[in-house]
Amino acid sequence: MDTHYLESLLGYNARRAALAVIGVFLQRMEPYGLRPVDFSVLTLIAHNPGVTSRQICTALDILPPNLVGIVKSLQSRGWIVRRPHPTDRRAQGLHLTEAGRLLQSQAQVTATQLENDAASPLTARELDTLKLLLRKVYQR
């Protein structure tokens, strides 16, 4: 089966690699009930207490209507709370609960460990180079 041409395309390789890594992520995060975007949102709140939904949408390139359900789900599981924004009464600041802090730190350890397994054919140096080049592609 000749797949040489497809394998010469950046889009094809990026999509295949992303799906492979996300596959490992889904397996390892299944015990936490966290999908990739759930983890990203939880992690942004952990590192940016009081962040708003709109800021998260901009940072992660998510459409606002699609974030609503994610925030609701994290809140219903007792991991985040919404507090009034200090200066803008339209907005709400998002914060982790104590349970949320515990879960996020455990999930972050899992995410960090998962790297090595998902990228096991790469040396540490190759992995760093790969991540650097990927960032160059999507950061403008």
Partner DNA sequence: TATTGTTATACTCTATAACTATA
Partner DNA sequence: TATAGTTATAGAGTATAACAATA
Q: Least distance from C-beta 83 to a copy of itself, angstroms? A: 18
The residues binding a copy of itself (CB under 8 A) are 1-22, 24-25, 36, 40, 43-44, 47-48, 51, 55, 59, 61, 108, 111-112, 114-115, 118-119, 121-122, 126-127, 129-131, 133-138, 140
Q: 3 or 76: whose CB is closer to a copy of itself?
A: 3
Q: Least distance from C-beta 113 to DNA, angstroms? A: 21
Contacts of 26 (CB under 8 A, 6+ apart): 35, 36
Binding mask 11-30 for DNA (x = CB under 7 A): --------x-----------
Angle at 108 between CA 77 and CA 83, to 5 degrees: 45
Q: Would you count residue 48 as binding DNA (CB under 7 A)?
A: no
Q: Which stretch binds DNA (CB under 7 A): 40-48, 88-96, 115-123, 128-136?
A: 88-96
Give the separation between CA 78 and CA 98, rounded to whole angstroms.
9
Q: Would you count residue 37 as binding DNA (CB under 7 A)?
A: yes
Q: Tell me, by CB under 7 A, how many residues bind DNA.
A: 24
Give the separation between CA 4 and CA 60, rounded to whole angstroms.
33
Give the separation between CA 52 and CA 82, rounded to whole angstroms.
9
Q: Would you count residue 92 as binding DNA (CB under 7 A)?
A: yes
**Pick from 60, 52, 62, 48: which is nearest to 104 by CA?**
48
Contacts of 77 (CB under 8 A, 6+ apart): 33
